[in-house]
Chains A and B, each alone.
Chain A
Amino acid sequence: MKIYTGSGDRGKTSLFSGERVSKGDLRIEAYGDVDELNAMLGALAATAPPEAPELGEEIRRIQSDLFHLGAWLATTPDSPSAGMLKKLSEDAARLLEADIDRMENGLPALTGFILPGGHRAAAWAHVARTICRRAERRVVVLTERENHAEPLSAVLVYLNRLSDYLFVLSRHINRIAGVEDILWKP
C-alpha cells in the first residue's frame, strides 16, 4: 500500500468521510489519542511476562477494537461513509468486563491507592490507562461539540471500561510476575 502523498504537508488532512480538516481539529486529536493508546498496547504486549501467555491474544483483540473506534472517530456520523463502518456493539465492552472480573478474582482487595509501576508490562499498562483517559476526555468534548450521541456513546463506554481493564491488568501482571503493589503512603 502506498503510504504517502504529501497532501497533508500543509497541516490539513481528510477525514474518512472526506471532509478536509486541520490536523489540530478535535476529531484528529481524539483518534490520535486512540492511535497512541494502540501503540502503547503494542509495547505492553511486547513486554508481557511469559507467565501470562493469554495476554497476547487479549491485547490484539483490544487493538483491533481500537482500530474500529479510530475509524468512527475519523468519520462524521451522518456521512454516507459511516455506513461502511463496522457497527460498534456493546459486546466489546462486555468482553472487557469479563476480563476484568476474571483478573480481579485472583487479586487481593485494594486497601489504598497504589503507585503506578512494578513489572515493566504493568508500568506500560498504567501509561496506557492514562492515555486511555485522555482519549476519553477528548471524545467527551467532541460529543459535546457535535451533539452526536450515537455512535460516540459506544466509544465512551468502551474507553471507560478499557481504562478500568488497564488498571486491573497492571495489578494482574504484577501479581503473576511476583511483584508487590506499591501502596501510596501519604
Chain B
Amino acid sequence: MTLPDKGRSVPARYKTAVLQRRQLSPGTVQLDLVRPHGFEFTAGQKIRLYRGNVSRDYSLASAPTAPFLSICVRIVAKGVLSPVLGAAKKNDSFSFTGPHGYFVFHPSNRHPVFVATGTGIAPFASICRSGVSGVTLLHGVRDLKQRYYAELFNRSAKQYVACLGSRKNPAQGTYPGRVTDFLAEKLPPGDYDFYLCGRREMIRDATWIIDDRFSGARIYTEIFY
C-alpha cells in the first residue's frame, strides 16, 4: 500500500547546488550537493529533485550526519533529467523536496540481506554509512567497473557479493549469476529481513524466491524503475 509521508501533507522545498561531481563508473556519477540548513533525513530515504517542470526521485547515498548530500545517478541514454545531472558542474542549482519514503533500516533479530541492482545500491550506502554493519549485501552489476562503493561495503558488510549476471569468468569476490540466482541457490536457509532496491523485475523475482525459500522473512522494497 502507499503511505502518506509522515505527518506532512506538503513537503518542504529546498534549494541546493552542486559541490562536486565524481565519476563512479562509466555511466554513473555521484553528485555531492549543498545540504540546506535544517534538512534532516533517515538513512535510506530519498529526495525529489526538480529542474524546471521535471522532477525525479533519488535516494540519498550519504550518511544522515554528513555535511553534504550525495546522490548516485545512472545516466540513462535519452533520459530527461539524468543526463543533465551527469553533466552538472559545480554551483549548478536545483531544488528538491524531502525527505520522502519509508525504505529505512529496521533492526531486528533476523539477519539483514540487502539486494540491489545498479544504482539501487545508493540507499544501502547511506544505511551502512549511518553505522549499520554485519549485513549480507548482493549487488547486481553489469561488469566489475560498476562495483561502486565496494570499499565501504567490504568494510561494513559481513558478506558483500557483486553478482555479475553472466555465468562466465567469475572474478574474485563475485558471483557468476544474477542476485536472484544467488538468493535461489546460495543463500543458506535462515531467518532474514530482505531489503530489495532497484529494477522492478528483480524485486518481483526476488520476492517470489523469498516466498518459496524463506517463509517468515520480512521484505522491504524500493522500486527505482
Number of residues on chain A facing chain B (CB within 8 A): 29
By a beta-carbon cutoff of 8 Å, the part of chain A in contact with chain B is: 1-2, 4-7, 9-10, 12, 14, 16-20, 31, 35, 64, 67-68, 70-71, 74, 79-81, 84-86
Cα–Cα, bound, A70→B104 (Å):
20
Given A18-B219, A64-B9, A81-B102: A31 and B1 interface contact (C-beta under 8 Å)? yes
CB-defined A-B contacts under 8 Å, sample of 26: A1-B2, A1-B57, A2-B200, A2-B223, A2-B225, A5-B223, A6-B200, A7-B208, A10-B211, A14-B207, A14-B220, A16-B1, A16-B3, A18-B220, A20-B211, A20-B217, A31-B1, A35-B1, A67-B4, A70-B1, A71-B4, A79-B106, A80-B106, A81-B106, A84-B6, A85-B6
For chain B residues 2-29, which have a beta carbon within 8 Å of chain A? 2-4, 6-7, 9
Nearest CB to that of A80 among chain B residues?
A: B106
- Chain B, range 198-225, C-beta contacts under 8 Å to A: 200-201, 203-204, 207-208, 210-211, 215, 217-221, 223-225
With an 8 A cutoff between CB atoms, is B79 at the interface? no
Alpha-carbon separation in the docked complex, A68 to B223 (Å): 22
Q: Which of A7, A19, A68 contacts B4 (CB under 8 A)?
A: A68
Contact status of A7 and B217, CB under 8 A, knowing A16-B1, A79-B106: no
Return A169 CB to nearest CB of chain B, in Å. Answer: 23
Residues of A within 8 A of B219 (CB): 14, 18, 20
A4 near B200: Cβ-Cβ < 8 Å? yes
Residue on A nearest B219 in the bound complex, by CB: A14
Measured between beta carbons, the chain B residues less than 8 angstroms from A4 are 200
- A contact residues around B102 at 8 Å (CB): 16, 81, 84
- B131 at interface, CB cutoff 8 A: no
- Considering residues A17, A67, A70, A80, which has the most beta carbons from chain B within 10 angstroms of its beta carbon? A80
* CA A68 to CA B7, docked complex, whole Å: 10
B189 within 8 Å of A (CB atoms): no
A5-B203, A14-B219, A86-B7 known; A74 vs B1 contact (CB < 8 Å): yes
Interface mask (B52-72 → A, CB under 8 Å = 1, otherwise 0): 000001000000000000000
How far is A19 from B217 in the complex, measured between Cα atoms in Å?
A: 7
- B211 interface neighbour in A12, A67, A70, A85, Cβ under 8 Å: A12
